[in-house]
Every structure is written in structure tokens, then in C-alpha cells.
Amino acid sequence: MSVGSYVLRRLLLLIPVLLGLTLLTFTLTNIVPGDPARLAAGPQASDEMVEDIRREFGLDDPLPKQYLNYITGVFSGDWGRSVLSRRPVTTDLRAYWPATLELVLASMTLAALIGIPLGIISAVKHDRWPDHASRVYALIGVSLPSFWLALLLQWFVALKFGVLPIGGRIDSMVGAPDHVTGMYVIDSLLARDFEALRSALLHLFLPALTLSSGALATITRMTRSSMLEVLGQDYVRTARAKGVAERVVLTRHALRNAIMPTITMMGLSLGWLMGGSVLVETIFDWPGIGLYAVNSALTLDFMPIMGIALVYGVVFSLINLSVDVLYGFIDPRIRYA
Amino acid sequence: MKRAGTTEGLGRESTAVDTAAQRTPAPLATRAGTSLWTRRFRRFRRNRLSVIGAAIIVLLILVAVVGPFVAPYPEDATGAVHMSQRLRAPSMDHLMGTDEVGRDVFSRLLIGSRLSLGAGLIVLVVATVIGTLFGVVSGFFGGKVDLLVQRITDVFLTVPGLILAMAVAAALGPSLVNVVLAISLTWWPGYSRLTRGEVLRTSEEVFVEAARAIGAPRHRIILRHVLPNIATPILVKSTMDIGFAVLTLASLGFIGLGSQPPTPDWGKMIADGRGYLPESWWLTVFPGIAIFLTVFGFNLLGDGIRDVFDPRARD
């Protein structure tokens, strides 16, 4: 099967899954004991005002009709409106998405830049102290509650020493760069606004560092174990025997063959980081999807929750698909089926 | 190229155990007086980290069992208020200080351990039972049933578990029972995937074919031949996962979607202490250490158990 038809088949398979997802979130958000119309109207509102809101948001229709309305809406770009912000969910998602993407990509970059070399060192120094240290470190990394680590870092690095900002995305005195991607680091680079770039990077550092701790640990371990396996192979011994420099053996012969499981892990981590960003965003006041999700959940705001789940579902599925396709490019022996 | 379980959460990756010993149907061979379990125990003991993990877990379970009886101020786990004692730094009277209404942090942590561990355990039991059931049905019957169950599993696996659990917890209303329900509901798909894969592999084995050939009924094949041979990887994964379930529970408590005051929920304690952070650090630091130790202990233990059952995983 060619790559094209493989991708197409996988995309078609996505449709029932995503439909199922909307059905799931719709069911979930409709077993709520609370009354969202009443919540939105506030405690002082009269019964008529609550009724108006109910009608305005279509909350008085029968449930199957509400679901059908929702699905047809989703396909035509109308994902409902947030009762809380009173804006269309799509507008909110567009506003919050770049912040989360920036945070997740920065964490992944940190995790890969540190984790892969650390894993290689562990494998090369197998069963000596660097290896043991990295094992303990990895176990600690996945066990640390991210929200706790975030609070401690905020306290130590930001509050106590004042080296880094305690929250937000950019200094209010500097202001956001012109909107291109919505990711401040990239936008400020494009605009050659280096003051904004500096501020954006400083704000990004602590949240990204906190979020990356789990992924960093997993990437380190994954790289280590696949490197160990590859280093024991005959072709590595052959390369060494014919006098290839150790650095070249490690990068060209070993790493290239060992990197696949790490790449898979990175793909899977992206989804996991998006989930984990919920907590980190809450603590660092990072205006992304995670913070939006928490605020919507706490106020029983249905439509945003459904929209957020759908966005995550689409992104996550596409990441998985890309990882599978990437597999074929790295290892041509793999066939798409 | 198709991979099973592509959306497995990070840190709780599946621990597929596939040893030659395990593929042989019970009873397993014993050699020269050392039973299999003695050898397993020796192997476990050789790994210092897993012994530390086991020690942490035994200690935690002990604390959870006797905690309420040995806590210096047991009434502080409920709605007690001692405003004259508020925000005291750690001292001999209050080992971990007091919180914003004068409750003893140490007592609350001790009593909270029962809640956290108990809830984590329930989540795992529920998730394992549901997941295994779906996985066995899916793997054993195949065809349309398999397709349907796997698509349902896909639906749950396309969204990060925490987001889904948040939505469920919010919808049901924040309480300890609801948050346990919410996490269980999002936790089973991983087990469904793992079990299905294991069932598919085991079904290819000669002893299953032999059972089929002599006309054993389906339920007997599943119960007597398949399940005992897939139990180990599932149990290993459950052990490692208890820590992460406790962590997820604390996370939801931290957000405010978990148990309500005055329940001594570890995550909620951190959230409450957050506002007093620079000065009253003990409110945040100690519950965090408790959560960390729990997750760390179960990870070490799970790691050790996996080594014991899967010698090949030991590099």
C-alpha cells in the first residue's frame, strides 16, 4: 500500500472515532446535576432571565436534537458558544491554542535536547555511575507531581530570587509581538523584536521546564534501552573492528537504528504533555487551552469542554498518524498496511 | 505498520511480559529444591532500588492502616478550627506545622494517606476489571465484536485522560466518590489494549489449540488456559499504575474537582497552602513529598516486579 492511500485510510478510520468522542463528551456534559443557564445568569437573576439564556443557547431542546445540532454545527465551523465568555468556542480555542502549542513544543524540545544525549551517555556507561544516576533521576522525574514542582520552582526561582517571572506569557511593558502564529517566541523572531523574544523566552522557561520533567525521564530511558540493544549488534562490532571512530559508530551506526522507539515515545509524549499542561498552565497563569479547560470545568461550561476534547482528539490522532508515517521514512523496511 | 496501544499514557507504558517460563502453562518446573518463587524473590532482592520501593510501600500501607489511631490530633482531619494555632512553623508540637485554620499538617497527612491509597487502589481494581473484561472479549472473539470494542477504546484514548477525568468529575459534581469514578472511567482503555494483545498472542499457543482440539468450551479455554497466562503483565502494570492513580487523584484535588473540605486530600492541601507559600512553605512542601513518595515507591516496586517476571527486560 502506498503512503497516500495508507494515510487516507487512517483518516477515514478517524471519523467514527471522533464522532464517538463527541457523543461521549455530549453524554458526559449532560448528566450534570447543575443548571448551566442558572450558573451563567448568576445568583441574582430572575427566572425569566434564566429562561432567556436557556433559549439563547438552545438548552431547552430535547437532547437528541441538541446533539444533532451540535454535530451539524461542528462541521460548519459552529462549535457552540461559551456560556462564561459569551464568545464562540472556536474563537476562544483559536485564542488559547497557540499558547498551549508553544508550551508543549518548548517542553518537548527541552526533553529531547537533554534526554537523548543523557540516554546515550547512560547506554555507553552502562552499569556505571552515570547510568545509575540517570535511572534514579528518571524514576524521580516521572514520580514528581508536576503541579507541586511548578509551585516550588515558582517559589524558589521566581519569588525568592526574582530571576524569572512568576507567570504569564510576556512582560506587559513589552507587549505581545504582531500576531502571525500566536506563538510569541516565533512571532517575535519574525518581527525581529528581540526585547519581546527575551521576555517571551524568560516567561516560557519555568513552565516548559516543569512540564518537560516526565517526558525527559521517559525519553532518557527509552533512548538508553534501545541504544543498549543496538550497541550489542554485530554491525556495531563490525564498524568498531574496521576502525570507525567511536563518535561515528555511536551516531551513524547506533543512534540511527536506535532512535525509532524514542521518536514514538516523543510522539506519544506530545499528547501526554498536552494533558499535563492543564496543571502547569493553572499555576503559571499561562493563557492556554489547559487553563481554559480548568475554568470551563469548574463553571460547568459545556460547549468549551466538548470543543477542547474534540481539538485534543483531532491533534492527538494526527500526531499518532504522523509518527506511524515517519516510521516508514526512517526505516524503509516497514510497509504500510 | 500497525502498532497496538499507540496512545498509551507516558510513564505508564505497558509492561508486556513475555518470558519463556510464563508461556509454559502452569505448573511451572521446579529445579533442585529452589522453587520458582524463591528464585523470583532472590532476583527481586538483588535489585536495591526495588527493595527500597517495597519498603516505602509497606511503610505507606502501615501508615494508612494505623494513621488515624496514631495521629497526634485526629480531630484535625475533620472540620476542627484552632485559630490561635494558625500557621505555626514545624515544631515538636506540630512536626509539620499547622495550616491556615490551625490544623496539624502531620495529622492530616497521616489520615489523608488512607484516602489516597484506598482511592488509588479502587481506581486500579475497577479499571483492571473493566479493561481486562473488554480486552478478553475483544481478543478472544475477534471479528465485529473486536472492531466495536477497539473503536470504543480508541475514543477514550484520543483524549488525554486528565482532560476526560476533569470533564467527568465536573459533570458529576466534585466529591471523592465521583472523582474515583471519573478516573476509573478514563483508566481502563490501557488495560483493554494490553489484555487484547496478550490474549491474541496466547490464543496462538499450542496449549490453547490443544484445548480447542479436544473440544473444551470457550469459557473454559478463557478461564483455565488464557487468563492465567496473561495475568502477570496485567498485574505488573496495575502495580506501577497505583502510584499514577494517586497522582491523578491529587491533581484533580488540586484543581478543585476532587474531595471537598475538610477532607484531608493531599492535592487539595497543596492548593490550599499555595496562597501562603513564601512564608508558610510547610503547607505545600509536606503533602507534595507524600504524593511523590507514593508514586516513587510504586514505580520502584513495579520496576522490580517487572524485572523478576521478565528477565529479558534486565538489560
**What pLDDT, in 10s, does the model give residues A256-298?**
888 888 888 888 788 889 888 999 999 999 999 999 999 998 8
Query: Distance (Å) from the C-alpha of residue B205 to the closest C-alpha of chain A?
Result: 25
**What is the spatial distance between Cα A117 and Cα A104, in angstroms, rounded to a whole number?**
20
Q: In this predicted model, what pLDDT tens digit does every residue of B156-200 receive, in sequence order?
A: 988 888 888 998 888 888 888 999 999 999 999 989 989 998 888
pLDDT, position A279: 92
With CA atoms as reference, the chain A residue closest to B163 would be: A275
In degrees, to the nearest 5, what angle opens at C-alpha A139 toward C-alphas A137 and A143?
A: 115
Which of B8, B163, B193, B265 to substitute to test the interface with A, most A CBs within 10 Å?
Answer: B163
More confident residue, A2 or A99: A99
Tell me if residue B69 falls in helix, strand or coil: helix
Per-residue CA distances from A312 to A9, A100, A112, A316, B179 (Å): 21, 11, 22, 6, 21
Task: Tell which phi-psi region holds residue A123, choosing left (phi > 0), alpha (psi between -120 and 50) or beta.
Answer: alpha
Alpha-carbon B163 to chain mean position: 18
ipTM reported for the complex, 2 dp: 0.86
pLDDT, position A48: 84
| CATH fold for domain A96-294 | MetI-like fold (1.10.3720)
Q: In this predicted model, what pLDDT tens digit does every residue of B287-314 receive, in sequence order?
A: 999 999 999 999 888 888 877 776 555 4
pLDDT, position A34: 62
Band (B32; pLDDT cuts 50, 70, 90): low
pLDDT, position B236: 83
pLDDT, position A335: 66
pLDDT, position A36: 67
The DSSP 8-state label assigned to residue A246 in this structure reads H
pLDDT, position B131: 94
Cβ B191 vs Cβ A51: under 8 Å: no
| Contact between B159 and A21 using a beta-carbon 8 Å cutoff | yes
Q: In this predicted model, what pLDDT tens digit does every residue of A185-237 receive, in sequence order?
A: 888 888 888 888 888 999 999 999 999 998 998 899 889 989 988 888 888 89
pLDDT, position B16: 40
**What is the spatial distance between Cα B182 and Cα B42, in angstroms, rounded to a whole number?**
39
Using an 8 Å CB-CB cutoff, list chain B residues near A151. Answer: 270, 274, 277, 284, 288
**Among B266, B302, B304, B311, which Cα is nearest to B285's?**
B266
**What is the spatial distance between Cα A51 and Cα A59, in angstroms, rounded to a whole number?**
9
**What is the spatial distance between Cα A306 and Cα B277, in angstroms, rounded to a whole number?**
34
Interface of B with A in 5-24 (CB under 8 A): 6-11, 13
**What is the spatial distance between Cα B241 and Cα A103, in angstroms, rounded to a whole number?**
27
pLDDT for B257 beyond 70: yes
**What is the spatial distance between Cα A284 and Cα B274, in angstroms, rounded to a whole number?**
12
**What is the spatial distance between Cα A282 and Cα A298, in angstroms, rounded to a whole number?**
12
Three-state secondary structure readout of B161-181: HHHHHHHHHHHHCCCHHHHHH
pLDDT, position A270: 85
**What is the spatial distance between Cα B26 and Cα B255, in angstroms, rounded to a whole number?**
47
The DSSP 8-state label assigned to residue B104 in this structure reads B
Cβ A36 vs Cβ A30: under 8 Å: no
pLDDT, position B8: 35
Using an 8 Å CB-CB cutoff, list chain B residues near A272. Answer: 9-11, 160
Q: In this predicted model, what pLDDT tens digit does every residue of B36-78 receive, in sequence order?
A: 788 778 877 777 888 899 999 999 999 999 888 888 888 877 7
pLDDT for B23 beyond 50: no
pLDDT, position B184: 93
Instruction: Give me the residue spans of the domains in chain A.
Output: 1-84+299-337, 96-294
Query: What nine digits make up the cell of A234?
Result: 554485530
| Contact between A312 and B7 using a beta-carbon 8 Å cutoff | no
Task: Tell which phi-psi region holds residue B260, choosing left (phi > 0), alpha (psi between -120 and 50) or beta.
Answer: beta
Interface of B with A in 103-162 (CB under 8 A): 151-152, 154-156, 158-162
Among the residues of chain A, which ranges form H helices? 3-29, 36-41, 47-56, 63-75, 89-124, 129-143, 146-153, 184-190, 194-231, 234-241, 246-248, 256-284, 289-298, 302-330
Per-residue CA distances from A200 to A105, A207, A212, B189 (Å): 14, 12, 18, 38
Q: In this predicted model, what pLDDT tens digit does every residue of A110-132 receive, in sequence order?
A: 999 999 999 999 999 888 888 88
Which run of H or E residues covers position B293? Answer: helix B282-309
Cβ B131 vs Cβ B150: under 8 Å: no
The string over A214-223, giving b where at least 16 C-beta atoms fall within 10 Å of a residue's C-beta and e elsewhere, is: bbbbbbbbbb
> What mean pLDDT value characterizes chain A?
86
pLDDT for B20 beyond 70: no
- Phi/psi at A44 (5° precision): -85, -15
Cβ B233 vs Cβ B16: under 8 Å: yes
Nearest to B251 among A264, A279, A334 (CB): A279
Per-residue CA distances from A176 to A102, A173, A185, A221, B152 (Å): 14, 9, 10, 38, 42
More confident residue, B3 or A281: A281
Rounded to a whole number of angstroms, the CA Rg of chain A reads: 24
Nearest to A29 among B7, B171, B295 (CB): B171
**What is the spatial distance between Cα A86 and Cα A91, in angstroms, rounded to a whole number?**
10
- Domains recognised in chain B with CATH numbers: 38-70+95-308 (1.10.3720.10)
- Phi/psi at A219 (5° precision): -65, -40
Cβ A242 vs Cβ B35: under 8 Å: no
DSSP assignment string, A176-231: PPPPSSS-HHHHHHHTT-HHHHHHHHHHHHHHHHHHHHHHHHHHHHHHHHHHHHHH
Cβ A263 vs Cβ A322: under 8 Å: no
Tell me if residue A81 falls in helix, strand or coil: strand
Band (B202; pLDDT cuts 50, 70, 90): confident
| Contact between A135 and B49 using a beta-carbon 8 Å cutoff | yes
- Phi/psi at B34 (5° precision): -90, 115
Band (B12; pLDDT cuts 50, 70, 90): very low
Most confident of B91-105, B218-232, B237-251: B237-251
Cβ B127 vs Cβ B81: under 8 Å: no
Tell me if residue A233 falls in helix, strand or coil: coil
User: Of A54-68, A117-131, B93-107, where does mean pLDDT reach its minimum?
Assistant: A54-68
Rounded to a whole number of angstroms, the CA Rg of chain B reads: 22
With CA atoms as reference, the chain B residue closest to A333 would be: B1
- pTM, full prediction: 0.86
| Contact between B11 and A34 using a beta-carbon 8 Å cutoff | no
With CA atoms as reference, the chain A residue closest to B157 would be: A313
Q: In sequence order, which residues have a C-beta less than 8 Å from that of residue A111 and are 6 or more positions away?
A: A212, A215, A216, A219, A266, A269
pLDDT, position A189: 87
